[in-house]
Structure 1
């Protein structure tokens, strides 16, 4: 699987901005790309909240893989964003 060059928190913040602005979600702009580019930093606190929630895998996630690796990866994403 390829890795993203964009930090996870920024990707989450961009999704949150896009959902607010784009007509593909709750917004009204049919072409919100440039607005998302400008607005995503305003959503970093929300992105961090999502990451903090993701620190602990649920039961099915834990059964599928290495929970300690998951926790370490999410903690790195939090540190990158802070």
Structure 2
């Protein structure tokens, strides 16, 4: 499996920003890359909210893998973003 060089909070925030500004999604800009580069930080809290929600996997996710590993991965992403475990 490939490993991204960009942290997960930034990647999620960029996806949210892209959906809002790009005409390929809900926005109106046909070439939104430069805008996403400028505004993704505005969606950082949204990205963190998504990660906080993912702390608790649903039944299908739980059945697919190791819950302890999942928890450590989500907590690591939140810690990297400056969030303390709770």
TM-score normalised by length of structure 2? 0.92
Q: Secondary structure at the match of 1:69?
A: helix
Count of aligned pairs: 82
What's 2:58 paired with?
58
What's 2:29 paired with?
29
- Measured on the aligned residues, the alpha-carbon RMSD in Å equals 0.6
Structure 1 distance, partners of 2:6, 2:51, is 15
| Pairwise CA distance, 1:81 | 1.4
| Pairwise CA distance, 1:18 | 0.3
- What does the per-residue CA deviation read over 1:3-22, in whole Å, with 9 as the maximum and x for residues that have no partner? 00000010000001001100
TM-score normalised by length of structure 1? 0.97
Q: Normalized per residue, which structure has more helix? A: 1
What's 2:47 paired with?
47
Specify every segment of 5 or more residues in structure 1 that has no aligned partner in the other structure, as ranges. none
Q: Which has the higher contact order (CA 8 A, sep 6+)?
A: 1
Q: Secondary structure at the match of 2:19?
A: helix
| Pairwise CA distance, 1:79 | 1.2
| Pairwise CA distance, 1:80 | 1.2
